[in-house]
Amino acid sequence: MIYYDTHTLSLNHHGEELCGDQVKILRTPDKLLLVLSDGLGSGVKANILARLTAEILVTMFREQVPLKDVLETVVATLPTCKVRNIAYAAFVVVEVELPGGRFRVVNFDCPSPFLLRAGQRVPLPERGEDVLGRQLRFSEGTLGSGDFLGVISDGVMYAGMGVLMNFGWGREQIGDYLEQITRHRPASAEAVVRRLMDKTRGLYCGAPGDDATLAGILVRKPNRLMVFTGPPADRTRDEECVNRLLDFDGRKVVCGGTTGNIVAEHLGEIVKIDFGTLREDVPPIGMLMDLDLMTEGVLTLAKTLRLLKDSGGDRHRVPMDRNGASLLARELLRADEIFVLAGEQVNPCYHNPLLPRNISIRHNLVEQLVEVLTACHKNVSIEWC
C-alpha cells in the first residue's frame, strides 16, 4: 500500500505580501494533478497571472479536456511581454496515474523537474513540442515507493546569486542537496520541501530576490488513522465497532466519554484522566493502553474544528499546548487516510428530541470536520453506525 504525499512551500519576493508563484493540487480516485505557475515579475500582478494560469489548467484537466486543447487554451490566453518578448506566466504540470504511478510532466519555461530514487538523481529525458509558437517540454516516467519528484520555480535557482560564482545556486547544487535529503528515506514530502526551502531562504540571506517555490511528491506508506466517536445507535453493535477500532492498522483515536467507556469495558480497563490537559475551553484527555489518543466528545470536536480552520491545514500552525483539541488536530493533519466511525446514539445533553438524529450537534461537527479535512487533501471516509 502506497501513498502519493504532496507538499509545497513558497518564499515571497522580499517586500511583497503576495507570492507570484501559485500551486494547485487536485486528487481524484485515478489521478493526482500538481500545477505550479510562475507569474512574470512579483507582487499583485504576478500573483493574479499565476493564479489564473493554475486555475485554468486544473479546471481543464479535471474536466478531462484533451491535452492539446488544454495547452492551446493556456498558451493562447497568456499574453506576451512586448519588452522582454516572454510569456507573462510559466507553468509546469505533473499528472500521475493512480495507483500505478505512471507520470507525465508538461513544462513551459520552468526549470526541469527533479526525480530522486534511493537518494540518487534519475535522468528525465525531455522532448520538445511547438504549441502555437510556444516551445513546451515533455518528460515521463513511473514513480515507485520511496521516490521523490520535485518541481521548482526559477526563484529557487537564483538563490545565492552573487555568493556562489555569481550565478545563483544552480541546478547541480540543488540536485546535490536533494540527494542528501532523500538519502535517509524522509518520512514525508514536507520534510524534503522544508529543508530545501530553508536552504534557499538562507542563500537569499532571508530576503528573497524573487518568488521561489518547490512542490514535491513523495511515494511512501500512508499514515492511517481511525477515529471512533459516539456510541452506535444500536447498542448490540458496540463490540463490533470496538473490534474494528482495535484491529485497525494505524493510529487509533476515540472522541467521547461514553465511547471511551465502551472501549474500556471491552478491554477490562478503567479510563485514566490526565487532569494536566484540562483547559478552560477543552476537557481533559483520557488514557487507555491500546489507544493513541482519547478525548472528550462534542466540546473537543468543536474546538478541533476551529483549530483546523485557523491552521489552514498546516499542523505547524496548531498550538503546541498539550490539550485534547490540539492533540486531535495534529493527529488529523498528520494522517493521510482517515476513517471515521461515527455512532448515532443521541446524547440528550446536546440534542433536541424533537429534531431528527442527523442534525444533532455531533453529526454536524463530524460532517464539518470531514469537509475541512478533505479540503486539506486528506482521504477521508465516514461510516455512521
Q: Are 148 and 217 in contact (CB under 8 A)?
A: yes
* Average pLDDT estimate for 254-279: 95
| 190/258 same-domain check | no
Domain boundary among 167, 201, 220: 220
Mean predicted confidence (pLDDT) in 117-135 = 89
Task: Examine the domain organization and report whether 95 and 155 are in the same domain.
Answer: yes
Q: Is the pLDDT of residue 96 over 60?
A: yes
Query: For strand 337-342 and strand 224-229, is the pairing parallel, antiparallel, or unpaired?
Result: parallel
**Boundary-marking domain end, from 193, 220, 247:** 220
Q: How far apart are CA 60 and CA 114, in angstroms?
A: 25
pLDDT at 291 over 50: yes
SS (H, E, C) 75-139: HHHCCECCCCCCECEEEEEEEEECCCCEEEEEEECCCCCEEEECCEECCCCCEEEEECCEEEEEE
Quick check: 94 pLDDT over 90?
yes
Q: How much is the average pLDDT of 328-353?
A: 83
Q: 374 and 233, same structural domain?
A: yes
C-alpha of 113 from chain center: 20
Confidence check: pLDDT of 254 > 70: yes
Of the candidates 220, 244, 259, which is a domain's last residue? Answer: 220
Residue 355 has pLDDT above 50, yes or no: no
Question: Do residues 64 and 38 make contact, with C-beta atoms less than 8 angstroms apart?
Answer: no
Query: For residues 116 and 148, is the Cβ–Cβ distance under 8 A?
Result: yes
The CA–CA distances, whole Å, from 269 to 112, 325, 344 equal 57, 24, 24
Q: What is the mean pLDDT of residues 5-22?
A: 95
Identify residue 27 by its one-letter amino acid code: R
71 pLDDT band, cuts 50/70/90, is confident
Cβ contact 302:365 at 8 Å: yes
Tell me, what's the pLDDT at 362? 86
Look at the block and give the residue holding cell 482519547: 294
60-80 average pLDDT score: 78
**Residue range of the domain that includes 97:** 3-220
- What is the structure's pLDDT at 166? 47
Indicate whether 255 and 329 sit together in one domain: yes
Residues 137 and 251 in one domain: no
Torsion of CA 219, 220, 226, 227, to 10 degrees: -60
Determine contact, residues 232/345, Cβ cutoff 8 Å. Answer: yes
Distance CA 238, CA 385 (A): 10
Grid-cell match 465516514, residue found = 382
Quick one: cell of 359? 442534525
Assign 40 a pLDDT band (cuts: 50, 70, 90).
confident
* Pair 154, 168 in one domain: yes
Helix count (H) and strand count (E) of the chain?
10, 18
- pLDDT at site 332: 97
Q: Provide the domain count of the chain.
A: 2
Pair 28, 140 in one domain:
yes
11 contacts 155 by C-beta, under 8 angstroms: yes
Judged against a pLDDT cut of 50, whether residue 87 lies above it is answered with yes
pLDDT value at residue 383:
95
**CATH number for the domain harbouring residue 139:** 3.60.40.10
Check residue 293 and give its pLDDT: 97
- Say what percent of the chain tops pLDDT 90: 71
Supply the DSSP string of 136-205, one letter for each residue: EEEEEEE--TT-EEEEE-HHHHHTTTTTSTTS-S-HHHHHHHHHHHHTT--S-HHHHHHHHHHHHHHHTT
Rounded Cα–Cα distance for residues 378 and 331 (Å): 12
Instruction: Verify that 239 and 103 share a domain, yes or no.
Output: no
Identify whether residues 191 and 271 lie together within a single domain.
Answer: no
Whether residues 244 and 171 fall in one domain: no
Paired with 3 in beta bridges are: 220
- Whether the per-residue pLDDT at 349 is higher than 90: the answer is no
